[in-house]
Each structure stands twice: as structure tokens, then as C-alpha cells.
């Protein structure tokens, strides 16, 4: 608790607000203490959806699932400004999660909590055991997470390009068991008032770059031009805006790899060659060179130090 700057009072105060990065650090610490590698998934099993307050009732009172998910996209920042939800209904229905102002590569438990909660909500609101056509997470997971696969009802893709749930297009029209036209109007008015008062949450460019880069690393695609393109910037504008924040693309890439390396090296089951691949290095020797520069030690020596602590 002290390490993560969370007072004990917060655990008993529903009105208390904890920063997203503090939440992520806290879940990592608790996961290690409990030796629960599926902590986020397990926590989501016992959550009362009504605790989300206005957001839940705005979604639950809609007539159909697609309408509810469109509201979820619009109003999600009423309860959590660090989470952005995108709902798409074209060839398939998909829910994509992104972080705003928070480094995605530091997280695993919170995003698994959110995705599990979302599927549980869709099932609860429709009264159907919905099975996604696709489930993907941007982070790496070693080994098989059978409880998660059983819950989602399909194979789960890790090291994906995004955090996404996808369904057959037909789910868009599924009626909600809790539809309430009066409550629907009331909740929408309330959420719109909050959005009108709240300034938009604009993330720093550095964090946006990290969140684009992290899922690209295992695919060995780390060119600055591709990141600039995804941000909708020219190469020159991209470099200029990074300079304005006092950094460069190379520095961000190096720091990201360092942070991820420290996470991966702390996992006993990951081979050094696998870690090199996850970080976008073509050879283990490149990882060894980077570790010596970062820590003054080889990857194996760093791992020994991490496991000993």
C-alpha cells in the first residue's frame, strides 16, 4: 500500500479517486503478493456493475446492445478519464480499449479486468451467454490462461495490435433486459451535463507514442515513420513535437524497451531469446548489449537480481 501511495481509507471509500497509474502499480504489487497471475480477471468476476453509477445505468437503460455500447463509448470518461472505448458496428461489432495519458505497456491486470467486465456486462444486459468471435490483448502472457479462455469461450490472442472484443454483427440489435425509456433519458441528460463541464483529457505525446509502439515491438516494426503515420503527423512535425517535449523518438523507444525488459526478466518462464523477440531485437546479443547499457549487467544477471528481491 505505501509503495503505491494508496491510503487504507481508499479501499473503504467508494467516492475516493485513485490515479490510473497508481491503480496499475497497486494491482501488480497485489498480484505478486498473492501469487495470482490472473488477478484482474479474478477481480472482475465479483464486481457489481451498478458500482459504475451513471455510466452503468446510461448503458443498461438503452433499448438495444448496440445503442448501449455507443453510450459506453461516449460516456466512459465520466467515470474513468484514462480509458477510451471505441465501439464499431460494420462487418462485425467490436469494442476496442485504449488508454489516455497512461502507459499501456506497464499494465496487464487492469486491462484484463476491464475486458472481462465488459463481456460480463454484455452477457448480463442481454441475458445471453455471448461468445466473442475474437479477443485480443496488446500485452504478452506466458503460457496458457485456461480460466480466461473458458470464460471468453474462444482462443485469446496476446501480443496483439490492440485490446479488443469482437462479436458477430447481429449482436448490435439484441434487446436489453433492463431497457427503460424514462431512465434512459434521465441518465443521458446527466452524463451530457458532466461531459459539458469536464475539459477533455489530452494525453502527452510521449505516452501516445509508447502506447502505439508497445504492441509493434514483437513484430519488429519500430520505425518512427509508422508511428508518426498512426498519429496523423508528418515525420518533420512528429520530430518537432517530440523536441518540444524535451525528448526524441529514439529515447522513447529505448526507455520503453528498458521498462518492458525489467518486467519480462522478472518472469522465470520466459527465455532470454523470447524476451529479445518481444522487445523487437533481432538477436539476443542486441538485448545483452542493451542490458549492459541500462543496468551494467547481462540479462541473466539482471534476472537473478529481480528474482532475488
CATH number at residue 243: 1.10.10.60
Gap between the Cα atoms of 207 and 204, Å rounded? 6
Instruction: Give me the tens of pLDDT residue by residue for the chain, a chain 309 residues long.
Output: 444 454 444 455 555 556 677 788 888 889 888 988 899 999 998 888 888 888 999 999 999 999 999 999 998 877 777 888 999 998 899 999 988 777 888 888 999 999 999 999 999 999 999 999 999 999 988 766 789 999 999 999 998 889 999 999 999 999 999 999 999 999 999 888 887 776 444 457 888 898 888 888 888 778 899 999 989 999 999 998 998 888 899 999 999 999 899 888 888 888 999 999 999 998 999 999 999 999 999 999 989 888 776
Structure confidence at residue 19 (pLDDT)? 66
> Does residue 138 sit in the same domain as residue 54?
yes
The residues near 184 (Cβ < 8 Å, ≥ 6 apart) are 58, 61, 62, 63
The answer to whether the CB of 99 falls within 8 A of the CB of 93 is no
Please name the helix (run of DSSP H) or strand (run of DSSP E) that holds residue 33, with its range, or none: helix 20-34
Gap between the Cα atoms of 130 and 143, Å rounded? 25
> Does residue 68 sit in the same domain as residue 169?
yes
How many domains is the chain partitioned into structurally? 2
Residue 153 zone, left/alpha/beta (φ > 0; ψ -120 to 50; rest):
left
> Does residue 184 sit in the same domain as residue 233?
no
Gap between the Cα atoms of 294 and 124, Å rounded? 48
- Give the Å distances, CA to CA, from 286 to 73, 218, 277: 41, 14, 10
Gap between the Cα atoms of 226 and 221, Å rounded? 8
Gap between the Cα atoms of 42 and 24, Å rounded? 15
261: containing domain:
205-308
What is the per-residue pLDDT across 150-184, written as a single tens digit (0 to 9) for each? Answer: 999 999 999 888 999 999 999 999 999 999 999 99
> Does residue 161 sit in the same domain as residue 135?
yes
Q: Is residue 8 part of a domain?
A: no
What is the per-residue pLDDT across 110-162, written as a single tens digit (0 to 9) for each? Answer: 999 999 999 999 999 999 999 999 999 999 887 667 899 999 999 999 988 89
> Does residue 162 sit in the same domain as residue 275?
no
> Does residue 187 sit in the same domain as residue 261?
no
Q: Is residue 261 part of a domain?
A: yes
Gap between the Cα atoms of 278 and 262, Å rounded? 12
Please name the helix (run of DSSP H) or strand (run of DSSP E) that holds residue 98, with its range, or none: strand 92-99
pTM of the model: 0.71
Amino acid at each position: 500500500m505505501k509503495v503505491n501511495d494508496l491510503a487504507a481509507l481508499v479501499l473503504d471509500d467508494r467516492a475516493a479517486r485513485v490515479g490510473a497509474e497508481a491503480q496499475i502499480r497497486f494491482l501488480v504489487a497485489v498480484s505478486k503478493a498473492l501469487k495470482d497471475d490472473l488477478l484482474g480477471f479474478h477481480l472482475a468476476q465479483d464486481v457489481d456493475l451498478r458500482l459504475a453509477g451513471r455510466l452503468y445505468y446510461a448503458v443498461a437503460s438503452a433499448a438495444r446492445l448496440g445503442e448501449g455500447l455507443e453510450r459506453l463509448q461516449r460516456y466512459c470518461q465520466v467515470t474513468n478519464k484514462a480509458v477510451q472505448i471505441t465501439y464499431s458496428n460494420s462487418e462485425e461489432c467490436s469494442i476496442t480499449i485504449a488508454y489516455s495519458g497512461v502507459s499501456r505497456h506497464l499494465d496487464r491486470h487492469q486491462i484484463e479486468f476491464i475486458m472481462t467486465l465488459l463481456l460480463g456486462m454484455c452477457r448480463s444486459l442481454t441475458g445471453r451467454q455471448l461468445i466473442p468471435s475474437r479477443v485480443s490483448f496488446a500485452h504478452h502472457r506466458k503460457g496458457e490462461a485456461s480460466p480466461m479462455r473458458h470464460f471468453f469461450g474462444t482462443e485469446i490472442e496476446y501480443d496483439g495490435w490492440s485490446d479488443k472484443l469482437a462479436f458477430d454483427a447481429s449482436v448490435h440489435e439484441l434487446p436489453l433486459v433492463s431497457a427503460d425509456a424514462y431512465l434512459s433519458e434521465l441518465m443521458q441528460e446527466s452524463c451530457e451535463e458532466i461531459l459539458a463541464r469536464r475539459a477533455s483529457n489530452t494525453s502527452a505525446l510521449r505516452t501516445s507514442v509508447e502506447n502505439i509502439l508497445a504492441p509493434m515491438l514483437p513484430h519488429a516494426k519500430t520505425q518512427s515513420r509508422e508511428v508518426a503515420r498512426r498519429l496523423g503527423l508528418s515525420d518533420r512535425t512528429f520530430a518537432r513535437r517530440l523536441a518540444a517535449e524535451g525528448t526524441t523518438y529514439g529515447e522513447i523507444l529505448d526507455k520503453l524497451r528498458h521498462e518492458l525488459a525489467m518486467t519480462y526478466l522478472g518472469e522465470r518462464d520466459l527465455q532470454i531469446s523470447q524476451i529479445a523477440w518481444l522487445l523487437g531485437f533481432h538477436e539476443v546479443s542486441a538485448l545483452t548489449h542493451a542490458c549492459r547499457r541500462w543496468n551494467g549487467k547481462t540479462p541473466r544477471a539482471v534476472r537473478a537480481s529481480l528474482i532475488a528481491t
